[in-house]
Amino acid sequence: MLSNLPLPPESSLPDVLASIALLAVLLSAWLITGRAFRARDNLPRLVARRWTANVRNALLLIAVVGLLMIWAPQLRTFALSLTAVAVAIVVATKELILCLSGSAFRTFTRAYSIGDIIEIGSHRGEVIDINLLSTRLREMDRRDGSIRALDQGVVVPHSLLFTQPARVLAREGRRPVHAFAIVFETRTDLFARLGEIESRANDALRQAGGDEERVTLAISTSDLGRLRLEFEVAATPDEAAGLEKAITVAVGSFVLSLAPPPGE
């Protein structure tokens, strides 16, 4: 039957045995002392009570001190655990208060609403949901100027509104500007062909179903001295990828067709 009894964890078994032994010794001392006092008939009753109380208090003090010494390592570990839990609660409470305050700040300032395309710190996307603690974004491509939608979402806590700037790239119902660039390493004079390149880009835009009739084109050079064609077109996040692909294919094919044959 003893084998079926649950045993305490192995790490605390010596402490349990030591505690039982200490209490057994103190209980035995209390019984022996009480019997000795009762055996002395010539001892006054008040004196016997006083000595009994003194012995009892002394044994209780020894029991408390002894148990504290036995269980000191476990108590220290438990205290550290309580401290860690308390710190975690304080941090979580602070973050919760910041999120609620950020939600109130967003509401009072009307910083953004559902359907807007915003950027908070390093997070950029279309607002698809807002609650008391966070804003859910439909994330977009991280390239500068790109609004191409990605098939993933991100939750931004409202506490970031106090530490990161919030920018509204486009209000709900308005078409934001999608920007991208194509870099060429060619000996062709693209500066003289900008009109033709822009015409090809506009044709590709119309064929791809873009609502806007014009593409904004600029030309510059990269850090390595290559020619860089920069395009801007008004598009929704769902249209951006298709329009960028159509313009890139049309312009890229045209520029490569201008390259002189090998050997020239």
- Give the pLDDT of residue 210: 61
| End-of-domain residue from the set 170, 196, 211 | 170
Instruction: Identify which of 225, 253, 239, 211 has the alpha carbon closest to the alpha carbon of residue 146.
Output: 239
Higher-confidence residue of 151 and 244: namely 244
Say if 64 falls within a structural domain: yes
Say if 264 falls within a structural domain: no
Say if 186 falls within a structural domain: yes
| End-of-domain residue from the set 170, 190, 214 | 170
Q: What is the CATH number of the domain that holds 229?
A: 3.30.70
Same domain, 58 and 122: no
Q: What dihedral angle (degrees, nearest 10) is formed by the CA atoms of 111, 139, 179, 240?
A: -120
CB 254 within 8 A of CB 196: yes
- Give the pLDDT of residue 263: 52
* Number of structural domains found in the chain: 3
Please tell me the pTM assigned to this model: 0.58
CB 132 within 8 A of CB 99: yes
Share of the chain above pLDDT 90, in %: 5
Domain containing 243: what range?
177-257
Say if 4 falls within a structural domain: no
User: pLDDT digit string (tens) for 192-221?
Assistant: 888 888 888 888 888 887 655 678 888 888
Same domain, 200 and 147: no
User: pLDDT digit string (tens) for 110-164?
Assistant: 888 888 899 998 888 899 898 888 899 999 888 888 888 888 889 999 999 998 8
Rounded mean pLDDT of the chain? 82
CB 240 within 8 A of CB 149: yes
How far apart CA 43 and CA 35 sit, in angstroms, is: 13
Same domain, 186 and 247: yes
User: pLDDT digit string (tens) for 163-177?
Assistant: 888 889 888 878 888
Residues in the chain: 264
